Amino acid sequence: MRLGIDLDGVVANFTAGWMRFYNHQFGTNLVETDSRRWNDIVELTHFKDMSEFWRWAADLDGHSLFWHLDPFPGAVEALVELDDEGHEIVVLTQKPSYAIQDTREWVKRVGIPAREVHIIDQKWAVDCDVYLDDGPHMVPEIVRHRPDRTVCRYVRPWNDPVPGAVDVHDFEEFRDVVSRLSRHS
């Protein structure tokens, strides 16, 4: 099966990553649990808008923020196991143009066995059997455009249940969904 996997908030810990740099640069003590909503960066920081944040995130120690992110524990290992089982790992992620090369390097460096990496706004445009995403705007869009596919919402504080999506809380639950679907195909 082709598995369309989002990166930030699913495989890569975006929140911890930007907070680590922000705390170091600006002397703050933000922690992951401070972030409860999508794009609450403006409320948690001194940035006046997201555009200012994205400009800041473009160059942190010679790379974009995305190059510096850590994967969530167990995420890469789960993708390797899914690949070993014969599934195709297809990365589907949205990024600013300045982060494209850093993102591709990150995928290789952390060992994601991706057969394809798509940096794309309309993730549903890439045909997959199963999608995994945490974006509160993206999950409903994929469900709407791919009603014949399985769309998994990676449950996070910033997203709500979506009719037609399967909720998963971790990669173990995601692997269970894929396993069930594989047995029935």
CATH number of the domain residue 145 falls in: 3.40.50.1000
Reported as type and span, the H/E element at residue 65 is: helix 65-68
54/77 same-domain check:
no
Q: Which two tokens stand for residue 55?
A: 């400009």
- Rounded Cα–Cα distance for residues 155 and 172 (Å): 13
104/52 same-domain check:
no
CB 105 within 8 A of CB 72: no
Say whether pTM exceeds 0.85. Answer: yes
142/173 same-domain check:
yes
Reported as type and span, the H/E element at residue 91 is: strand 88-93
* Residues pairing with 151 in the sheet: 131, 165
Report the DSSP pairing between strands 150-154 and 130-133: parallel
- pLDDT at res. 4: 98
- pLDDT at res. 39: 83
33/123 same-domain check:
no
* Residues pairing with 166 in the sheet: 152
62/146 same-domain check:
no
- pLDDT at res. 38: 85
- Rounded Cα–Cα distance for residues 113 and 101 (Å): 17
73/62 same-domain check:
no
Q: How many domains would you assign to the chain?
A: 2
Q: Name the residue range of residue 54's domain.
A: 14-68
81/115 same-domain check:
yes
Per-residue pLDDT tens, the chain, 185 aa: give them.
999 999 999 999 999 999 999 999 999 999 999 998 888 999 999 999 999 999 999 999 999 999 999 999 999 999 999 999 999 999 999 999 999 999 999 999 999 999 999 999 999 999 999 999 999 999 999 999 999 999 999 999 999 999 999 999 999 999 999 999 998 87
98/51 same-domain check:
no
